[in-house]
Structure 1
Amino acid sequence: GIWEWFDPLTLVRAMPLVLEKEPRARLLFMGTRHPNPVVPPSAMAQQARDLSAALGLLDNTVFFQDWVDYEQRASYLVAADVGVSIHAEHIETRFSFRTRLLDYIWAGLPMVISGGDSLSEMVAARGLGRVLAPDADEHELAAALLDVLATPRAEFATRFAAVQPDFAWDKVAAPLLRFVADPQLAPDRGQYPSDAERATADATAHLAEVIKNKDAFTAQVIAEKDKVIAGLEAGIAESRAYTEQVIAEKDAYLEQVIRDKDAFTAQAVRDTSDRYEAIITDLREQLTAQEQAIASLREEVAWRAGVQEQLQAELDRLNSSPLVRLGSRLKGKPRDPKAVVDKRTLAAHAASVELGTPPPNLTAPYVSVVIVNYNGLRFLPACLASLAPGILDYPPDAYEVVLVDNASSDASIEYTRAHFPWVRIIANPANLAFAEGNNVAMQAAKGEFVALLNNDTRVDHGWLRALVDAAVRHPRGGALTSKLLFFYRRLPLVIEATTFNPQQLGISSDDRDLGVIVTRIAPDTARGAAPALSEVEYGPGFYGSEGEGESIYRWTAGHATAFVPFTTADQPLPLLLGINSTRPEAAGPLRLRVCVSGETLLDVTNPPSGDIPIEIPAHLLAAAPPTIQNAGTLLLAEGSGRDRGAVVVGTSQTYEADAGQYDTEEQVFGFCGAGVLLRTAALREVGYFDSSFFMYYEDMDLAWRMRLAGWEVWYVPAAVVHHIHAGSSKEWSPFFIYHTTRNHLYMLLKLAPPRLAWREWRRFAAHTVGVQTRSLSRATPPQAREMARIQGRALLATIRHLPALLVARRRIKRQAKLADKEVTKWMVKG
């Protein structure tokens, strides 16, 4: 508690010193406001609050209760580790009986207190804690607190057991009870000296004492003055030397920064200019070649009527090539920008957004849970239901759920208003995507934290409490990321097929070992299978997709694994395996075998093309563990990001089963924006998502900026989120590949060390020019041609955006609190 004669300020100043040795330490004041409303607020209590806020301790290390009833205080005392009662020299403390010390004795609570009364003498004599002088500073207080915390509680228990009988209630109250039962009149005042006589005697004695001590006191003051002067002179000399050292180091550092900056900028400008000129020259040459190719194709269309449709499709693809578009721009034909909303309209909209204000007397930090949605109606019921008050383990008045709708056309807003009226809705005027959609809400948040979720997620009961508790444990945690599991459990379906090599058979130039064409793997709803919202993942052993639209297919390499999601394990899962068994006669017979967990589900030779029904037994489904989708994000050596829990085999990526290997709370480099708690103080310092990213890599970019600013990213395994993953956006689609490729370059040019940024930029530019050249060949597969087109778009976008990226880089590096090497030490090999 806090009264005016107590000293909470020294205690608050001691807490940072305690946290250095014991980061779990927390300080609770149980009474900072008298329960009688007539009693004015305590000025000392307000000073303590202000000091806690200034030191960054308020509501994360130091907590204030207005008033705790005495019955409830017993629970706090029993659960506490140290009781504190400190004060300056004061008449209240010298002549009062400190009942709070009696509470500590009854609770067996070791204490750290100021001396000056009989109780403190008893505490010191009996070893019930540590007793300090009333003028002790924060260093002495912190040392005493740490000393008590380090002493085994059992030692104190033995000492308290010997003392407590002397302070039983019947003994403590006995003198008062005797007086109440038999009041006695005070003796006649007449036998005492009068007030005037007593005052005269006191004044005379006091004057004599003053005269007696004057000389000694004067000598002491002079000695103290000389000591202070000497200390000041030493401090001035030390400060002068330190200042000169700092100035010298600053000048040297600035000179080095200027040299590095000038060298890097000049080299970047020269190399970029040279590279750009080379690219333009190559593009002009390639444009001429493409125009010739187009003319040739037109001639072929005229006399090859049998392949008219195929050649027209080829012509359309060539006309949409980035080389042709760039050629048009070089000839003075500007490309129309694809703007969804102008900046002025967006700024006005963002300024109009209002989120909830934290109510007073909260029992937990206030959190705004933000979900960006674009035509995700099919996901919202599961997502929002898991966040409902009473379902989520968090005080309902301490959080709000905000749906940020990016101009959906699927009635998402109407459905949410009808079925989840407690959800706050922000209706954006256009599709602002993930980055800017979240920014609109985060900039308006008024609480201590903002939690971000994808709309294709469902959270566990204790998700939010686990994140907030971790944030309290780690006050420098700018981001606290969840354990993301795939929404559906998945079973590995192994497809084995005899292989052939077209090049070795002299059939074509294709040098791949080919097994069987897989057209689809899907739940057989006709036999009772429930349709899954998540698609099958084609993993190791599958080549990239070929064909277009409904005709997409994949070759196996002979032994391939697909991961099949399922919704229930209480009954078998019927599937349809679509294949095209056509192969050259020279390739020999096709033997096809399908297995799950070592059990063979299908073993046939020369099956016909079409859908083959197979069935996965229920006992195999029940044994399938959950799958990790993200346990934090890794920073790879080339500056890209990867889900912790992802496994890359060749060109395929799959994910680990959850076997408890990621159940440790620990720091990670980055977070996944599909389920993360962000501290608003960190966001306001480093900024929000980079809206130029639109989608993908914006979370990695923000994590990197937080790291440079000295904030931490923590992985919290107790905060579990189930994520459909790519439910709202298609993974490995052209849209996905373009934005991940471009945004990776954006991030490196903004944040990476100069050598890494320049190396990766140069490598990508050279590779892109090469694939553009190779894509002119008619033998280039359509998929490779599409990839070349995407890479060309990403390269051109980065060139256009380069000046803005370099400006942002200069600002971020100037404000950084950590050197690049402190961030890049998180890099791991891919």
Structure 2
Amino acid sequence: MNTIAIVILNYNGQPFLAKFLPTVLANTDGHTVYVADSASTDSSVSFVRTHFPTVRIIELPRNEGYAGGYNLALEHIRTNYGLPAYYVLPNSDIEVTPGWLSPVIRLMEANPNIAACQPKIRSYSEREFFEHAGAAGGFVDWLGYIFCRGRVFATFEKDQGQYDDNRPVFWATGACLFVRADVFHQVGGFDASFFAHMEEIDLCWRFQRLGYEVWTCGQSTVYHVGGGTLHKSNPHKTYLNYRNSLFMLYKNWPADVWLWPKILLRLVLDGISSILFMQLGEWADVGAILRAHFAFYGQLPTLHRQRKQLRTQQRASVKLYQYSIVWQYFLKGKKTFSEMEKG
């Protein structure tokens, strides 16, 4: 059995493959690299075949986003090449560094209860700073808002070794996700309805419901361009983030008695954020939030079935960050994770 399968999902990302695939191949420690192509319309597949003949190509029939694409690709690997011990899922716009694999794998080998882990994610363009998508490990507050060690809202910390430890977190980033392969398939993989954004947080939440742990490894660092598929100001990304946040909260929130009060409060806060978009003249984002809410309403029957099923499978309680990061950040002026962790 191969220990590690390194799998890069690609959609029309030939420039990123040309730029970053060589660094991955130079630092694989002998493990197999796969490129799973989501029916790209550029020349990604022929480019990889020509320039990187050692890479195994998985040609997917259609673009199903990050969640559905990886579900198809990892099932293909399990069926055709055998189940590895670990899947390593770096985005196509990730620059890896020498020795990036071994510290994370050592950590997961030492603790079989770790289902998912991530390295530190720093910005490719501002290399001393943490990057938006994951930084040094993520958390979820009591209203379902996400934040990271090293990045809270628009505050990005300089990496000065303050998060070089290995420790449990709530979620590990999909930008460079290490996941125990058998556990990934045990929980059914990513929720394909998310398409992209927050599917890894939903996955990590489900891991923890079954008693597994999620960690961050401070001895491994990679660099992330970010916005390679959807720029951070893209209205479709706004739609996915707002919609998927509600999907995730409804599916996974543990206490029925507080579920709808929290959902309603989130809807109100979403409305307030849409006013901020109005003030900036970003009307497409306002429309994206409205579409996200209606998509959530339309998906409620399915979400309710998923919620009931997850409740029957739950083996362990899941601990969220007990405060509101909105309150902590905007009203109490706490801008970093280190400040917020003190309460």
Q: Find the counterpart in structure 2 of residue 606 from structure 1.
A: none
For residue 383 of structure 1, report the CA deviation from its aligned partner: 2.2
Q: Find the counterpart in structure 2 of residue 670 from structure 1.
A: 171
**Residue identity matched to 2:124:** F
For residue 768 of structure 1, report the CA deviation from its aligned partner: 6.6
TM-aligned CA distance change 1:467 to 1:767, over 3 Å: closer
For residue 387 of structure 1, report the CA deviation from its aligned partner: 2.2
- Determine whether 1:409 maps to 2:58: no
Indicate the percent of aligned positions where both proteins have the same amino acid. Answer: 30
SS in 1 for 2:24: coil
* Residue pairs, 1:520-559, within 5 angstroms: none
Structure 1: distance between partners of 2:219 and 2:279: 47
Q: Find the counterpart in structure 2 of residue 340 from structure 1.
A: none
For residue 366 of structure 1, report the CA deviation from its aligned partner: 1.3
Q: What's the CA shift string for 1:291-312, capped at 9, x where partnerless? A: xxxxxxxxxxxxxxxxxxxxxx
* CA contact 1:637–1:829 (8 Å) conserved in 2: yes
* CA contact 2:239–2:288 (8 Å) conserved in 1: yes
SS in 2 for 1:658: coil
For residue 828 of structure 1, report the CA deviation from its aligned partner: 4.7
Structure 2: distance between partners of 1:631 and 1:768: 26
* CA contact 1:633–1:670 (8 Å) conserved in 2: yes
Structure 2: distance between partners of 1:804 and 1:422: 42
- Determine whether 1:632 maps to 2:137: yes
* CA contact 2:141–2:320 (8 Å) conserved in 1: no
**Residue identity matched to 2:307:** R
* CA contact 1:435–1:690 (8 Å) conserved in 2: yes
SS in 2 for 1:426: strand
**Residue identity matched to 1:640:** Y
Q: What's the CA shift string for 1:191-222, capped at 9, x where partnerless? A: xxxxxxxxxxxxxxxxxxxxxxxxxxxxxxxx
Residue 696 of structure 1: which of 197, 200, 223 is its match?
197
Structure 2: distance between partners of 1:665 and 1:782: 40
For residue 705 of structure 1, report the CA deviation from its aligned partner: 0.5
**Residue identity matched to 1:400:** T
* CA contact 2:118–2:215 (8 Å) conserved in 1: yes
For residue 377 of structure 1, report the CA deviation from its aligned partner: 1.0
Structure 1: distance between partners of 2:24 and 2:297: 43
For residue 684 of structure 1, report the CA deviation from its aligned partner: 2.3
Q: Find the counterpart in structure 2 of residue 392 from structure 1.
A: 27
For residue 756 of structure 1, report the CA deviation from its aligned partner: 4.5
Task: Point out where structure 2 has 5 or more consecutive residues left out of the alignment.
Answer: 326-343
- Determine whether 1:806 maps to 2:301: no
Q: Greater Rg, structure 1 or structure 2?
A: 1
Aligned residues: CA RMSD: 2.2
Structure 1: distance between partners of 2:267 and 2:144: 16
Structure possessing the higher relative contact order (Cα contacts under 8 Å, 6 or more residues apart): 2
For residue 790 of structure 1, report the CA deviation from its aligned partner: 1.6
Residue 680 of structure 1: which of 181, 190, 196 is its match?
181
Q: Find the counterpart in structure 2 of residue 110 from structure 1.
A: none
For residue 681 of structure 1, report the CA deviation from its aligned partner: 2.0
* CA contact 2:86–2:181 (8 Å) conserved in 1: yes
Q: Find the counterpart in structure 2 of residue 380 from structure 1.
A: 17
For residue 427 of structure 1, report the CA deviation from its aligned partner: 1.5
Q: Find the counterpart in structure 2 of residue 744 from structure 1.
A: 245
Residue 93 of structure 2: which of 453, 456, 479 is its match?
456
Q: What's the CA shift string for 1:234-264, capped at 9, x where partnerless? A: xxxxxxxxxxxxxxxxxxxxxxxxxxxxxxx
Q: What's the CA shift string for 1:418-437, capped at 9, x where partnerless? A: 11111111112221111111
SS in 1 for 2:36: strand
Structure 1: distance between partners of 2:136 and 2:157: 11
**Residue identity matched to 1:438:** Y
Q: Find the counterpart in structure 2 of residue 645 from structure 1.
A: 150
**Residue identity matched to 2:199:** E
Q: How many residues align?
A: 315
- Determine whether 1:482 maps to 2:119: yes
For residue 404 of structure 1, report the CA deviation from its aligned partner: 1.1
Q: What's the CA shift string for 1:709-743, capped at 9, x where partnerless? A: 10011111122211111122211310111000000
For residue 373 of structure 1, report the CA deviation from its aligned partner: 0.9
Q: Find the counterpart in structure 2 of residue 529 from structure 1.
A: none
SS in 1 for 2:226: coil
Q: Find the counterpart in structure 2 of residue 758 from structure 1.
A: 260
**Residue identity matched to 1:736:** K
Task: Point out where structure 1 has 5 or more consecutive residues left out of the alignment.
Answer: 1-357, 359-364, 491-625
> Normalising to structure 2: TM-score of the pair?
0.86
Structure 1: distance between partners of 2:272 and 2:95: 44
Structure 1: distance between partners of 2:146 and 2:279: 29
* Residue pairs, 1:274-673, within 5 angstroms: 358=1, 366-388=3-25, 391-392=26-27, 394=29, 396=30, 399-444=31-76, 445=78, 446-489=83-126, 626-629=128-131, 630-648=135-153, 653-673=154-174
* CA contact 1:768–1:788 (8 Å) conserved in 2: no
Structure 2: distance between partners of 1:413 and 1:449: 25
- Determine whether 1:824 maps to 2:332: no
For residue 465 of structure 1, report the CA deviation from its aligned partner: 1.6
SS in 1 for 2:115: strand
TM-aligned CA distance change 1:393 to 1:410, over 3 Å: closer
For residue 443 of structure 1, report the CA deviation from its aligned partner: 2.1
Structure 2: distance between partners of 1:729 and 1:768: 21
SS in 2 for 1:489: coil
